[in-house]
């Protein structure tokens, strides 16, 4: 891996204004201690290395990541047509040799999303500003390309957002894991804001940490439906007894991605625990294999893992030991509405009636015939009594 990082560094330096690493490292730190202190301040543990060693490490890792982001940018093809390609495909051996490389790049993606492996995104932006200059016209490349490239880079690990107008400001991103986190947050018009006012009016004791399983909710009259117009998989809504959940495909790597996103939420103070709340919510719903099967039949849960029995315990394993707070649960108000609906007895009676008598059409016909016969019998009895009294 060290060889590849050095190769990517030399590839980025070629045909640029920087022909050696020392000059680039000096520019990266800006020639002052404040830049180094800012980098060190991005980590919780003390960094025991000199400023030169720190600059070299940031430069190697940053150039490697910068190269990957530019490679995956969707506008790269257009720039190649225009003769303004900032990264040359022909000189990237690892990129052109497809056979035997796919699994290696998947491992690289996993490594880039590890919380402990993150480097500050402002370092990548600084390298982009110093290195990526158009050869033809001298114009600086658009920094927003890094966001597009990052989303495309990890698109094989989780579904991309469906909103074409959705954008993320480069200055808001702390690192690559944070970029993935921002891209999967539910929109403002989802349950995150729909139940916000209601949640503020509830005490912390009133906000539930637990909800019944899928089977228990179905027995109480709650209907499950696949949400087709959702932008992200966490956009869950509940209205008029119908719980709409977007489709979720779980793979073997999904455990890894969600664990690191939860770890980020646990360490970063300015989050509303979206991932933690979502995983806890789904963990409550999926307690048995039957619960997972019901959601699968509804088209909500698609199990792509290598273990068939893994679906029901998938979320409970991920969220084990994670801290959760009621006042930072974006699904708190929605959960309260579900519990209110679950506690209504008439919903249970109606659900039991529907389940027992309204599934098979022959049963429905039999019930209707029995009801008609009962009505005729009651009518005949009333007529007989009236005739008797008239006598």
Question: What residue segments make up the domains of the chain, in order of their start?
Answer: 2-183, 191-345, 360-391
Token duo for residue 93:
């051996």
Checking 37-40 for CB contacts under 8 A at 24+ apart, the result is 38/120, 38/122, 39/120, 39/123
Token duo for residue 104:
């290696």
Helix residue spans in 286-360 (DSSP H): 289-297, 314-318, 332-342, 345-357
Say what the pLDDT of residue 385 is. 82
Tens place of pLDDT for every residue, the chain, 391 residues? 555 666 656 666 555 555 566 666 667 766 556 677 788 888 877 877 777 788 888 888 888 898 889 888 866 545 544 445 555 554 555 555 544 566 677 788 999 999 999 999 999 998 888 877 544 344 545 788 899 999 999 988 887 787 777 889 998 999 999 999 999 988 765 554 454 444 444 444 444 567 899 998 988 888 999 999 888 899 999 998 899 999 998 888 888 999 999 999 988 877 888 999 999 899 889 988 899 999 999 999 988 876 665 667 788 788 777 777 767 788 888 988 988 887 776 566 565 556 655 566 766 677 788 888 889 898 988 888 888 777 6
Q: What are phi and psi of 84, to 5 degrees?
A: -125, 45
Token duo for residue 54:
């720190």
pTM for this structure? 0.77
Count the neighbouring beta carbons within 10 Å of the beta carbon of residue 23: 13
Q: Which residues contact 130 (CB under 8 A, 6 or more apart)?
A: 18, 24, 27, 28
Q: Which residues contact 134 (CB under 8 A, 6 or more apart)?
A: 84, 86, 140, 141
Beta bridge partners of 35: none
* Rounded Cα distance, 32 and 99, in Å: 45
7's enclosing H/E stretch is: helix 2-13
Say what the pLDDT of residue 134 is. 43
Spatial CA neighbour of 280 closest among 239, 236, 242: 236
* Rounded Cα distance, 203 and 64, in Å: 49
Spatial CA neighbour of 191 closest among 226, 228, 241, 243: 243
Say what the pLDDT of residue 31 is. 55
């Amino acid at each position: 891996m060290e060889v590849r990082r050095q190769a990517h560094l030399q590839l980025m330096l070629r045909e640029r204004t920087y022909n050696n690493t020392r000059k680039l490292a000096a520019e990266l730190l800006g020639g002052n201690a404040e830049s180094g202190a800012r980098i060190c301040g991005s980590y919780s543990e003390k960094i025991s290395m000199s400023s030169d060693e720190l600059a070299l490490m940031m430069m190697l890792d940053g150039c490697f990541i910068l190269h990957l982001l530019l490679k995956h940018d969707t506008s790269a093809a257009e720039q190649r047509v225009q003769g303004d390609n900032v990264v040359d495909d022909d000189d990237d051996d690892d990129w052109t040799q497809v056979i035997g490389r796919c699994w290696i790049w998947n491992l690289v993606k996993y490594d880039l999303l590890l919380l402990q492996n993150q480097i500050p995104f402002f370092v990548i932006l600084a390298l982009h500003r110093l290195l990526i200059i158009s050869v033809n016209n001298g114009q600086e490349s658009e920094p927003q390309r890094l966001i597009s490239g990052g989303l495309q880079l990890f698109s094989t690990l989780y579904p991309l957002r469906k909103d074409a107008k959705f954008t993320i400001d480069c200055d808001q991103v702390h690192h690559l894991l944070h970029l993935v986190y921002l891209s999967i947050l539910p929109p403002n018009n989802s349950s995150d804001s729909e139940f916000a006012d209601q949640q503020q009016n509830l005490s912390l004791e009133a906000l539930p940490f637990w909800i019944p399983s899928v089977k228990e909710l179905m027995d109480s009259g709650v209907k499950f439906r696949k949400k087709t117009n959702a932008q992200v998989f966490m956009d869950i809504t509940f209205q008029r007894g119908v719980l709409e959940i977007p489709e979720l495909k779980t793979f073997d790597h999904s455990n890894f991605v969600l664990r690191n996103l939860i770890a980020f939420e646990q360490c970063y103070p300015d989050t509303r625990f979206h991932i933690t709340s979502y995983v806890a919510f789904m963990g409550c719903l999926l307690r048995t294999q039957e619960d997972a099967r019901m959601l699968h039949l509804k088209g909500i849960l698609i199990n792509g893992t290598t273990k068939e029995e893994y679906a029901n315990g998938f979320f409970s394993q991920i969220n084990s030991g994670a801290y959760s707070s009621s006042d930072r649960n974006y699904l708190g108000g929605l959960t309260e509405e579900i519990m209110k609906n679950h506690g209504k007895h008439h919903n249970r009676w109606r659900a039991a009636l529907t389940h027992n008598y309204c599934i098979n059409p022959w049963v429905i016909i039999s019930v209707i015939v029995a009801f008609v016969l009962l009505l005729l019998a009651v009518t005949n009895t009333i007529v007989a009594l009236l005739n008797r009294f008239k006598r």
